[in-house]
A and B are shown apart, each in its own frame.
Chain A
Amino acid sequence: MSRAFHKLFPHPVLTLILTVVWTLLQNEISAGMVVFGIILGVIIPWATSAWWPDRPRGFHLGKMLSYTLIVMWDIIVANIQVAWIVLTVPNSKLRPAWVVVPLDLRQPEAISILAGTITLTPGTVSADLSDAGHSLLVHALHTDDPDAVRDEIKQRYEARLKEIFV
């Protein structure tokens, strides 16, 4: 039963995403469209499942949603900050820095979300992964204290992600 389910829905979350995308594309919510979206949401992941072999095992959808809200808020704040830096801080006063973030996360999906979050939020861009995947290289636009940046990242985002990906 479970195996059959997995065969049919290799990536339930993906199916959900696709159904939502379909509905957004159609720009109307009708029973027919949703059904059609679900059908596509099943067929497409199934047809391309060979290219996503090791799907993440556990995933807390609810916590993911709250994480998303936090990040969205941070994005808005971050952008104002960066805009301010760009407009006001002269280049001579700018103090860019490399920040190395040691990673506790192991799942590729989780690390990717973390890296993405870092890029979208205050003054930081995730630049590279170490050769065995234990650290993330982050570039900060303007900071006096790289360690603080690192701790912020680990507390605010990585910790939450560890709860989402069990």
Chain B
Amino acid sequence: MTVDLILTFAIAALLIVGAIFTLVGAIGLIKLPDGMTRLHAPTKVGTIGVGAMLLASMINSYVYGEGSMHELLIMAFLFVTAPISANFMAKVHIHRRACDQPPAPPRDDTWSTLDTPEEDKEHVETTA
């Protein structure tokens, strides 16, 4: 009984925390000055916000239902995929020159995104 009570409080807390993190992620998305910095807020803060909500839901299912760990799977998905998404978006920024030019790598020639293959170097603007 008390465990359930505590867990219910925990659910409420997790919901609020998750929501706040989500909001902070969104604020960062609006507020931060350029593409690369904006990338930090939602990919991390936002993800953890949803993670907290998922946790709340999981606990909720144990308190009010049969209980399930499905949410773990979703969380796993989110956490595994978030870095790759972030990586791709960073590559987009680098490729579109939407951020400061990164310093050259110490041992290699350049960063892979900037290493356009020879046959792709020229392009034509298709006139619509």
Which residues on A are within 8 Å of B, measured CB to CB? 21, 24-25, 27, 75-76, 78-79, 82-83, 86-87, 91, 94, 96, 98, 100, 102, 115-120, 123, 125-135, 137, 139, 141
Of A25, A27, A76, most buried by chain B (CB within 10 Å of CB) is A27
Report the nearest B residue to A139, measured CB to CB. Answer: B36
Which stretch of B1-9, B110-118, B120-128 is in the interface? B110-118
On chain B, the residues within 8 Å of A132 by CB distance are: 107-109
22 contacts between A and B (CB under 8 A): A25-B70, A27-B66, A79-B21, A82-B45, A86-B31, A119-B44, A119-B86, A120-B82, A125-B39, A125-B40, A125-B43, A125-B86, A125-B90, A128-B87, A130-B107, A130-B109, A131-B111, A131-B112, A132-B107, A135-B106, A137-B102, A137-B111
On chain A, the residues within 8 Å of B34 by CB distance are: 96
Q: Measured between alpha carbons, how far is A102 from B103 in the docked complex, in Å?
A: 13
Interface size, chain B (Cβ < 8 Å): 49
- Tell me whether A128 and B113 are in contact (CB under 8 A): yes
On chain A, the residues within 8 Å of B70 by CB distance are: 24-25, 27
- Tell me whether B83 and A102 are in contact (CB under 8 A): no
- Tell me whether A134 and B107 are in contact (CB under 8 A): yes
A26 to chain B, nearest CB (A): 10
Taking CB atoms and an 8 Å cut-off, the chain B residues in 64-82 that contact chain A are 66, 68-70, 72-73, 79-80, 82
On chain B, the residues within 8 Å of A141 by CB distance are: 37, 40
- Tell me whether A127 and B112 are in contact (CB under 8 A): no
5 further A-B contacts with Cβ under 8 Å, apart from A83-B45, A87-B24, A96-B37, are A100-B103, A100-B105, A125-B39, A130-B111, A133-B108
